[in-house]
Homo-oligomer: A and B are copies of this chain.
Amino acid sequence: MTTFVTMDKLINYLLEFGQLNQQQIDLIKGKIQVLELKKGDYFSEAGKIPKQVAFIEEGILRVCYYNSQGDEITKYFIDENNFAVDINSFNQKIPSSEYVQAVTDCTLLVFSTESLNDLSATIIQWDGIINKITEKALVEKVNKLSPMLAEDATTRYLNFIEKFPSLANRIPLSYLASYLGITQSSLSRIRKSI
């Protein structure tokens, strides 16, 4: 199945962080590979060195890992109009310790390492744009996580619903419970109590 993808979301997103002329935009579009993931598919896996960066055109991904007790922990969810990559592993070219998995069917716009290198070498503003995007994404993650510690589980759940209204009842309890830092049965009880 092929889906028509305009890439407008991506281009508009990039333009928020710097100017690009039409020639540069066309160059960028030419580097992109469209990747459709079905719910449950993995975009990248622990143990492998990530070789791609994805912009989420449509859908929701989650980043997860296994902790020292062997529990699968959802570190965070990433939604539409954001980039997904294990930035540390990608930059340092070391095996990732995380999985990136499609929580819903997704349309991803994928850049390979080589494409990114080309863009970096060709478009003078590229690195600056990417750095701004990276920084903003990380700051957002910190600002999201930090207050969660002070909130009780019900509040964390309500905040999740607010951010991902369509998701709460359509993903496995385990994804959400581990993200919220509670057990599945506690989450089930919280749901009932609301």
Residues of A within 8 A of B (CB): 67, 71, 73, 75-76, 87-88, 91, 127-128, 131, 134-135, 138-139, 141-142, 145-150, 178, 180-181
Q: Are B145 and A149 in contact (CB under 8 A)?
A: yes
Q: Determine how many copies of this chain the complex contains.
A: 2
Complex-state Cα separation, A91 to B139, whole angstroms: 12
Check if A87 sits within 8 Å of B149, measured CB to CB: no
Q: Across the interface, do A149 and B148 meet the contact criterion of CB distance under 8 Å?
A: yes
**Which one of A91, A138, A141, A180 has the greatest number of beta carbons of chain B within 10 Å?**
A138
A142 in complex: contacting residue of B127, B131, B145, B181, CB < 8 Å: B145
CA gap between A131 and B150 in the complex, in Å: 30
Q: When the two chains form the complex, which single residue of B138, B147, B150 contacts A135, counting CB atoms closer than 8 Å?
A: B138
| Inter-chain contact A149/B180, CB cutoff 8 Å | yes
Chain B: which residue is nearest A73 at the CB level? Answer: B150
- With A and B bound together, what is the CA distance between A138 and B146 in angstroms? 12
Docked pose: A150 CA to B42 CA in angstroms:
23
Residues of B within 8 A of A73 (CB): 146-147, 150
Residue on B with the closest CB to A68? Answer: B147
**Chain B contacts of A131 at CB under 8 A?**
127, 131, 134-135
Which chain B positions have C-beta within 8 A of A71?
150
